[in-house]
């Protein structure tokens, strides 16, 4: 029986996770599957109360005792620099070595795109963001702080091993899903050392996937094309920082943060699923948070657990909610977070996977 650790977290994280768990349990029940779901109290409240974000024993338990982790969102204005977020989320990413950050951006309904010249062209941009190095390793420091001569250095770390494994993950995914092209995004003209490594590794690894089209783009050009002609992308592989930025842009182009799920994975070992959005303190507690990103995380989770039929059922029910206008105000609907969750859970029975 798959064991799932659920960390609702902060702000709207708790609200959307409640809906995701509801949908997850209902979907499992419909197909006769049992899940063991355990809730973890981790977030700003606990950090402010105890001064501890996550213990060593909890890291170990999350690493060893669960098949997958479902996270809502972390972040609270009362915690300086979101210290608890860094400890928990970045801690899990680095310690479980979750080197693949997979962010699918699918235009589920043409009405959701802010682009006015798409003319019904389908958009699906699967972003593979390197998740354990790049500009996020926090190498560097500040010198002569608060003086006119202050210096800040922030290194961008790229290893052959790190680049190779994310590039391979992107190609493997493209092959498995029959995606036509993998695009590598860098800034090789201005940042030639990192760019040179990424380009050489991309060519080397890509040689093993001759059936897949392969191209490289500068990140500024990629940003422009995500707006101008997003349909030219299939799979995108890129560094931690560029992936962070481009995936928010790709999410905006395909319906906004309220819909975008993500998976942090070490293939074959560990996986953590979370919506791309944060804890959104500005709308927390008002019942208006869109739960569909968190619900779509459940689809990714089922896929990872080896149940594509269940994944499809959840995704189909989310798509049906959008098509029927059963949405929160960010998508133009008038339902509350709970009502959308209830609607999707009820729609699961009527949204069987195409494959069954
Ligand atoms: P961070 O990215 O640093 O965690 P944050 O928590 O302040 O930032 P996000 O949660 O990423 O912000 O979202 C930015 C804005 O997008 C929010 O202020 C909110 O208005 C909107 N938003 C984000 N997620 C949702 C959602 N699920 N439903 C509706 N609106 C959302």
The neighbouring-strand residues paired with 4 are 37, 68
Predicted confidence band at 47 (pLDDT cuts at 50, 70, 90)? very high
* Model pLDDT, residue 64: 94
Tell me, yes or no, whether 153 lies in a domain: no
Domain ranges, residue 221: 114-130+158-253
Gap from CA of 252 to ligand 1 centroid (Å): 12
Q: Residue 139 domain-assigned?
A: no
292 Cα nearest atom in ligand 1: 27
pTM of the model: 0.93
Q: DSSP readout, 116-168?
A: S--TT---EEEEEEE-SSBGGG--EEEESTTSTT-EEEE--B--HHHHHHHHH
Q: Percentage helix, strand, coil, to 5, in the chain? A: 45, 20, 35
The residue to which tokens 């098509």 are assigned = 323
Within 10 Å of residue 86's Cβ, how many Cβ atoms? Answer: 14
Long-range contact list for 198-204, CB < 8 A, 24+ apart? Answer: 198/158, 198/163, 198/167, 198/239, 201/160, 201/163, 201/164, 201/167, 202/167, 202/237, 204/164
Q: Is the pLDDT of residue 355 over 60?
A: no
DSSP string, 156-225: -B--HHHHHHHHHHHHHHHHHHT--EEEEEE-TTTSHHHHHHHHHHHHHHHTT-TTSEEEEEEHHHHHHH
Q: Say yes or no to pLDDT of 213 above 90.
A: yes
Q: Are residues 66 and 95 in the same domain?
A: yes
Please check whether residues 245 and 174 belong to one and the same domain: yes
Q: Is the pLDDT of residue 242 over 50?
A: yes
Q: What is the mean pLDDT of the chain?
A: 95
List residues bridging with 126 in a β-sheet.
Answer: 104, 235
Residue bearing the bigger pLDDT, 290 or 108: 290
Report the Cα–Cα distance between both ends of the chain, in Å, rounded.
22
CA 85 to ligand 1: nearest atom: 4
Q: Tell me if 334 is assigned to some domain.
A: yes
* Residue 356: predicted pLDDT: 41
Residue 293 beta carbon below 6 angstroms from any ligand 1 atom? yes
Q: Is residue 162 pLDDT above 70, yes or no? A: yes
Which residues are marked as active site? 136, 187, 220, 244, 248
Own/partner contacts of 114-118, CB < 8 Å, gap of 24 or more, are: 114/252, 114/253, 115/227, 115/230, 115/253, 118/230, 118/231
Alpha-carbon span 307 to 134, nearest angstrom: 33
- Alpha helix locations (H) across 254-336? 292-304, 308-323
CA-275 nearest atom, ligand 1: 27
Q: Is residue 144 part of a domain?
A: no
The tokens for 79 are 């915690």
Q: Are residues 196 and 265 in the same domain?
A: no
Res. 188: pLDDT tops 80: yes
Alpha-carbon span 230 to 143, nearest angstrom: 42
6 burial via Cβ count (<10 Å: 0-12, 13-18, 19+): buried
Lowest mean pLDDT among 62-66, 205-209, 352-356: 352-356
| Cross-strand bridge partners of residue 263 | 102, 273
> Which phi and psi angles does 141 have, rounded to 5°?
170, 180
Same domain, 125 and 227: yes
What integer is the mean pLDDT of 300-323?
95
Buried/exposed code over 165-198 (b: 16+ C-beta within 10 A; e: otherwise): bbbbbbbbbbeeeebeebbbbbbbeebeebbebb
Ligand 1 centroid to 280 CA: how many Å?
Answer: 4
Identify whether residues 197 and 324 lie together within a single domain: no
Co-location of 238 and 125 in the same domain: yes
Q: What is the CATH number of the domain that holds 48?
A: 3.40.718.10
Please tell me if the CB atom of residue 195 comes closer than 6 angstroms to any atom of ligand 1. Answer: no
Residue to probe by mutation, ligand 1, list 72, 257, 330, 344, most atoms within 8 Å of CB: 257
pLDDT recorded at residue 252? 94
In this predicted model, what pLDDT tens digit does every residue of 64-88 receive, in sequence order?
A: 999 999 999 999 999 998 999 999 9
| Structural domain count of the chain | 2
Please, which pLDDT band fits residue 134 given cuts at 50, 70 and 90? very high
Whether 239 has a pLDDT exceeding 50, the answer reads yes
Q: What is the rounded average pLDDT of the residues 310-328?
A: 96
* Cβ 129 under 6 angstroms from ligand 1: no
The answer, yes or no, to whether residue 351 has pLDDT greater than 70, is no
Own/partner long-range contacts of 50-55 (Cβ < 8 Å, ≥24 apart): 53/83, 53/84, 53/87, 53/88, 53/91, 54/87, 54/88, 54/91
The domain boundary, picked from 192, 222, 253, lies at: 253
Q: Which amino acid residue places its CA nearest to atom 13 of ligand 1?
A: 280
């Amino acid at each position: 029986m798959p064991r799932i650790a659920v960390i609702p977290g902060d702000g709207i994280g708790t609200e959307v996770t409640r809906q995701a768990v509801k949908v997850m349990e209902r979907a499992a029940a419909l197909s006769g599957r049992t899940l063991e779901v355990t809730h973890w109290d981790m977030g700003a409240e606990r950090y402010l109360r105890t001064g501890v974000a996550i213990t060593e024993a909890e890291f170990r338990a999350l690493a060893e005792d669960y098949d997958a982790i479902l996270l809502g969102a972390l972040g609270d204005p009362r915690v300086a620099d979101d210290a608890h977020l860094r400890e928990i989320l970045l801690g899990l990413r680095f310690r479980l070595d979750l080197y693949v950050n997979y962010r699918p951006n699918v235009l589920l309904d043409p009405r959701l795109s802010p682009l006015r010249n798409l003319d019904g062209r389908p958009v699906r941009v699967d972003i593979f963001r390197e998740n354990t190095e790049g500009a996020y390793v926090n190498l560097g420091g500040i010198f002569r702080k608060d003086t006119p001569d202050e210096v800040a250095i922030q290194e961008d770390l790229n290893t052959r091993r790190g680049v190779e494994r994310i590039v391979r993950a992107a190609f493997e995914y493209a092959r498995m899903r029959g995606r036509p092209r993998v695009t590598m995004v860098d800034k090789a003209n201005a940042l030639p050392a990192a760019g040179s490594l990424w380009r050489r590794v991309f060519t080397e690894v890509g040689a093993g996937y001759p059936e897949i089209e392969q191209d490289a783009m500068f990140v500024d050009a990629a940003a422009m094309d995500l707006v101008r002609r997003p349909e030219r992308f299939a799979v995108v592989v890129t560094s931690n920082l560029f992936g962070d930025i481009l995936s928010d842009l790709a999410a905006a182009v395909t319906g906004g943060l309220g819909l975008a799920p993500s998976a942090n994975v070490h293939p074959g070992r560990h996986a953590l699923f979370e919506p791309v959005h944060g804890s959104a303190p500005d709308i927390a507690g008002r019942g208006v948070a869109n739960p569909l990103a968190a619900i779509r995380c459940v689809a990714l989770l089922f896929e990872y657990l080896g149940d594509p039929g269940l994944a499809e059922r959840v995704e189909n029910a989310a798509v049906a909610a959008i098509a029927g206008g059963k949405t929160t105000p960010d998508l133009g609907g008038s339902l509350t977070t709970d009502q959308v969750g209830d609607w999707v859970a009820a729609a699961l029975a009527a949204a069987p996977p195409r494959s069954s």
